[in-house]
């Protein structure tokens, strides 16, 4: 009698892991598409396309649900949703800006310091007690970032600060998501996180617009679809298994970024980038495993 629930739990966990791997590879492909687009279009237009087609995808997915759009636009925390949207806009602009200036793998590796910033911010903002061992992991992760950037050695430009700011904004976004505390459905939060970004980038679009050709429209649509579909897969994965189980598998995104960076753009990370990336990933994994144990 007890073997069936255990088997079902194992199958659910496996499906969740596969969904997370598909999710992060989708994000890696989206970032690769965005980097490719920045060769022909300004960053705000690329970000506009990401929000525009992502919102269309969200509305289409929502329409196929049993309840349709019922409740999609209703939020109990409009102020907090707006704040999350602002964080999403700023981080997306900075991330795409970094992609336009730096190799894909380096941008991904530095931005993976986000979970470490979550730990650092959870103490002052959420009043959570952070053990000394986790603070050590945060410091080591930041050292990993410095290994990649190597300030003062003339290896990377000021643009390396952009993915670091993205990591900080991502952490603030996660803290704000925790503050929501399940007040709104995940699909509603996903919709609002991109809605304000679409409105603001649309306001600027006429001043920086360059009309895309067929390939450009296709890639822009692919960027939005990959982003939205990846978020949907992540939501489904979190319904099947806890985040503490799934978090380690998100680092597959870095592998995808390295492959895409090499195949599409001919970028090969140097030794220091590998070492710094491993330090960041190792610190992040320690944080995840420690929190899971707690």
pLDDT digits (tens, 9 = 90+) for 199-217: 999 998 889 999 999 999 9
Where do the domains of the chain lie? 15-293
- Supply the pLDDT for residue 1: 40
17's CB contacts (< 8 A; 6+ apart) are 237, 241, 245, 246, 249
pLDDT digits (tens, 9 = 90+) for 122-157: 777 767 777 888 888 888 888 888 888 876 545 556
- Supply the pLDDT for residue 99: 94
Range of 69-83, 127-141, 164-178, 221-235 with top mean pLDDT:
221-235
- Which band of pLDDT confidence, cut at 50, 70 and 90, is reported for residue 3? very low
- Supply the pLDDT for residue 189: 85
Of 20, 56, 24, give the one whose Cα is nearest residue 220: 56
pLDDT digits (tens, 9 = 90+) for 256-265: 999 999 999 9
* Stretch 245-249: mean pLDDT: 79
Percent of the chain at pLDDT > 90 equals 36
DSSP for the chain, written as a single string: --HHHHHHHHHHHHHHHHHHHHHHHHHHHHHHHHHHHTTTS-HHHHHHHHHHHHHHHHHHHHHTSTTTTTTTT--S-HHHHHHHHHHHHHHHHHHHHHHHHS-HHHHHHHHTTHHHHHHHHHHHHH-----HHHHHHHHHHHHHHHHHH-TTTTSS-GGGHHHHHHHHHHHHHHHHHHHHTTSS-HHHHHHHHHHHHHHHHHHHHHHH-----HHHHHHHHHHHHHHHHHHHHHHHHHHHS-HHHHGGGGGHHHHHHHHHHHHHH-----HHHHHHHHHHHHHHHHHHHHHHH-
Answering whether pTM is above 0.85, one says yes
pLDDT digits (tens, 9 = 90+) for 60-92: 988 887 777 777 888 888 888 899 899 999 999
- Supply the pLDDT for residue 264: 94
Kindly report the average pLDDT of the chain as a whole number: 85
- Supply the pLDDT for residue 293: 67
């Amino acid at each position: 009698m007890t073997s069936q629930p255990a088997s079902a739990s194992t199958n659910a966990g496996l499906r969740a892991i596969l969904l997370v791997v598909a999710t992060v590879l989708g994000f890696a492909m989206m970032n690769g598409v965005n980097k490719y687009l920045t060769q022909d279009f300004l960053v705000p237009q690329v970000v506009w396309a990401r929000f525009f087609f992502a919102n269309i995808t969200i509305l289409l997915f929502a329409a196929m649900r049993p309840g349709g759009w019922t409740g999609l636009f209703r939020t109990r925390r409009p102020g907090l949703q707006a704040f999350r949207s602002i964080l999403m806009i700023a981080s997306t602009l900075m991330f795409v800006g970094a992609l336009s200036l730096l190799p894909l793998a380096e941008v991904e590796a530095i931005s993976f310091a986000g979970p470490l910033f979550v730990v650092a911010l959870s103490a002052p903002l959420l009043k959570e007690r952070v053990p000394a061992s986790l603070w050590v992991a945060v410091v080591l992760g930041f050292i990993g970032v410095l290994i990649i950037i190597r300030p003062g050695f003339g290896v990377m430009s000021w643009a390396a600060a952009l993915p670091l700011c993205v990591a900080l904004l991502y952490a603030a976004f996660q803290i704000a998501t925790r503050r929501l505390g399940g007040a709104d459905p995940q699909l509603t939060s996903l919709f609002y996180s991109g809605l304000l970004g679409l409105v603001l980038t649309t306001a600027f679009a006429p001043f920086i617009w360059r009309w895309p050709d067929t390939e450009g429209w296709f890639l822009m649509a692919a960027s939005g679809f990959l982003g939205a579909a990846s978020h949907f897969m992540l939501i489904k994965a979190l319904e099947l298994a806890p985040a503490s189980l799934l978090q380690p598998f998100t680092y597959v995104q870095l592998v995808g970024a390295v492959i895409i960076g090499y195949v599409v753009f001919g970028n090969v990370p140097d030794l220091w980038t590998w070492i710094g990336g491993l330090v960041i990933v190792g610190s992040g994994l320690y944080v995840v495993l420690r929190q899971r144990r707690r």
